[in-house]
Amino acid sequence: MAIGFSGTAAAAAKPRDPGDDCRGIICLYKQYNYGGPPVTFDPFRQTYKDLPGDYVHNVGSFVANAPGCFIRWTGGRQNREVHTGDRDTHYGRGFGKLMEAVGKNC
């Protein structure tokens, strides 16, 4: 006798894709692997956004479902352009520990 999983049980075991909550926008997370509540940026409605204090130099991961620009002001402007479909589960190892703002264009 074969025993299998129902479609519901299999679907419940699948990890949640953070992109589902970030359609058409950019989501920034303080924790690695899209953990915690995101700060969102919609480049179709906004042109620039300073990150909230607890996210400055503390972006652990991100999902970009829209184009944008990650910005660091301290020590002279530095930019990282992002494109639709870009994502990083461990961005805090790189530019995420330097980010201070997000904008529509670099």
Closest CA to 56 of 101, 89, 87: 101
Q: Kindly report the pTM of this predicted structure.
A: 0.82
Q: Which two tokens stand for residue 71?
A: 């910005």
Q: Are 54 and 30 in contact (CB under 8 A)?
A: yes
CATH superfamily of 16-103: Crystallins (2.60.20.10)
Q: Are 63 and 16 in contact (CB under 8 A)?
A: no
For residue 13, give the 3-state DSSP assignment: helix
Query: Where are the chain's structural domains?
Result: 16-103
Long-range contacts of 37-45 (CB under 8 A, 24+ apart): 41/68, 41/102, 42/66, 43/67, 43/68, 43/103, 43/104
Residue at token pair 């652990």: 60
The one-digit pLDDT tens for each residue of the chain (106 residues) are: 444 444 444 444 344 567 678 999 999 999 999 998 999 999 999 999 999 999 999 999 999 999 999 999 999 999 999 999 999 999 999 999 999 999 999 9
